[in-house]
Amino acid sequence: MKNLLRLFVLCSLIFVASHSLQAQRSSSDTDQLSPWWFGGGVNLGFSGGNGQTIFNFGISPMVGYRLFDQFSVGPRVSLLYTNYSIRGFNGSGNTSAGPLSWAVGLFGRYKIPINRANIFAHIEAELENEALFQLAGNDLEVFRREVGNFYMGLGYSSGFPFAYEIVALYNLNQRDVAFANQNPIELRVGFTYNF
């Protein structure tokens, strides 16, 4: 509960700071492109086998504010619900868990002016609270880990005002040794409006 409160406070502060930047813009800027843009993505997945099933559903909204034509900043929030179910051994029944993982981050984007190519550079600092599963006997235990991620990468946007985007990011922070098999490359597919 404390983590959700921290997330709410952080997002509120970002919104208030962004709103105050908007209020400082002069009235002569109203005929220009709106400084606000919106985007996000949806995750949906299901897998199963060997008595195990995993269902994922997540959303990741983001709001950008143009500081100038090519450069924008803003917050990004990610929520991921995972339901993990495993059939018990020796007919002991099923056990399942459905925790929520979350992440909150601040990003910066720079549109690279290359002959209308719609390519942009993306940098993001993120705090992630991830739910992990461990089988202990016939019980399924959930434990959490918090990690700071720092992403850098490139993306492609399909156009304006409504567009899809594909972003390839590399996590510069080293993971714990116990989770070294995780891929540092993250691919995101989403949509934007007014980017």
Provide the pLDDT for residue 18. Answer: 44
pLDDT exceeds 70 at position 9: no
- Mean of all residue pLDDT scores within the chain: 81
Provide the pLDDT for residue 157. Answer: 94
Write down the domain spans for the chain: 35-193
* CA dihedral of residues 122, 125, 127, 133 (deg, nearest 10): 50
pLDDT exceeds 90 at position 110: yes
Indicate the pTM of the whole model. 0.74
**Distance between CA 184 and CA 47 in Å, rounded?**
22
Best-predicted range by mean pLDDT (3-7, 51-55, 85-89) = 51-55
Fold (topology level) of 35-193: Porin (2.40.160)
pLDDT classification of 179: cutoffs 50, 70, 90? low
Let me know if 191 is exposed, middle or buried by CB neighbors in 10 A (0-12, 13-18, 19+): middle
